[in-house]
Amino acid sequence: MPRIPRITNQQILEAARQVFLQQGFGASTLEIAQQAGISEASIFKRFLTKEELFFAAMGIPEKPLWVNELESLCGKGDLKENLINICLQIMEFYREVLPRIIMLRSRGNAIAELGGKEPRPMLDVKVLTAFLEREINQDRLRPCDPQTVAHILVGSVMNYVFLEQMSSQATMPTAELAIGTYLNSRDSATEISVFVLSLVDIVWLGIALSQD
């Protein structure tokens, strides 16, 4: 019979979180192993890479859900509605992870470019840029600079979430909009941030093939 592990994955993640918060991504897995009371090799039996351990410990998805599902939207459905939903999911992602990133930075532990990768926001801009470029190539958007549009959308949403985190307000304005084409494929009225609606409305005026 296989031996029952004496320490759970959650205990390893708790130890890793403590060390990462103190030292940032540069912390050694050996120190994390010592904190957890296990061998360094035991960590890599549970987590394939240090990056995977870091993301899991800090509760930051290595690949956000909206990125995974973005490909299925290309060339399909109402593009403006798709952009609203994409921005909404980006907002929810950063609402979840930004407090953790702020915590790391407040302790002087900036998140390193993991494995040579670019920071998460820049990766998000690149992913959204590629999506917009494909939509332009399919004549669903007028010719424009997709990277600039992606910067406006991702940057504006991130800034909104940052200000929201800094604010003492518990809730932000919302509005209801019935949208049939969503990443979750639900045909129901969904609460959408007024900010997201306004942001996409403004950007849409400059990128739509025809004005609605």
CATH of the domain at 17: 1.10.10.60
Domain co-membership, 166 together with 90:
yes
pTM exceeding 0.85: no
No. of helices (H) and no. of strands (E), the chain: 9, 2
Question: Residue 187's pLDDT band (boundaries 50, 70, 90)?
Answer: very low
Beta-strand ranges (E) seen in the chain are: 174-179, 188-193
Residue type, 179: I
Domain co-membership, 54 together with 109:
no
pLDDT score for 180? 39
**What's the rounded Cα separation, in Å, for the pair 144 and 64?**
26
Domain co-membership, 104 together with 139:
yes
**What's the rounded Cα separation, in Å, for the pair 52 and 193?**
32
| Residue 2 maps to a domain | no
- Residue 74 three-state SS: coil
Q: How many domains does the chain have?
A: 2
Domain co-membership, 157 together with 191:
yes
State the chain's mean pLDDT as an integer.
Answer: 79
Q: How many CB atoms lie within 10 A of CB 51?
A: 15
Average pLDDT of the residues in 141-151? 95
Tens digit of pLDDT for each residue in 61-70? 767 888 887 8
Q: Residue 116: left (phi > 0), alpha (psi -120 to 50), or beta?
A: left
| Residue 1 maps to a domain | no
- Identify the weakest region by mean pLDDT among 87-96, 131-140, 166-175, 194-203: 166-175
Closest of 21, 1, 4 to residue 99, by C-alpha: 21
Domain co-membership, 107 together with 89:
yes
pLDDT score for 67? 86
C-beta separation of 175 from 188 below 8 A: no
Is residue 184 scored above 50 in pLDDT?
no
More confident residue, 99 or 155: 155
| Residue 91 maps to a domain | yes
Q: Which residue has the tokens 């940057």?
A: 155
Domain co-membership, 100 together with 159:
yes
Question: Residue 182's pLDDT band (boundaries 50, 70, 90)?
Answer: very low
Percentage of the chain with pLDDT > 90? Answer: 29
Average pLDDT of the residues in 42-71? 82
Residue type, 200: V
pLDDT score for 175? 43
Q: Which residue has the tokens 């909404």?
A: 88
Q: Which residue has the tokens 């304005």?
A: 173
| Residue 118 maps to a domain | yes
**For residue 98, what are the domain limits?**
65-207
Percentage of the chain with pLDDT > 70? Answer: 76
Q: Which helix (H) or strand (E) holds 115?
A: none
Average pLDDT of the residues in 148-155? 96
Question: Residue 143's pLDDT band (boundaries 50, 70, 90)?
Answer: very high
Name the burial class of residue 171, with classes exposed (0-12), middle (13-18) and buried (19+) by CB atoms within 10 angstroms of its CB.
exposed
Domain co-membership, 126 together with 171:
yes
Average pLDDT of the residues in 128-134? 95
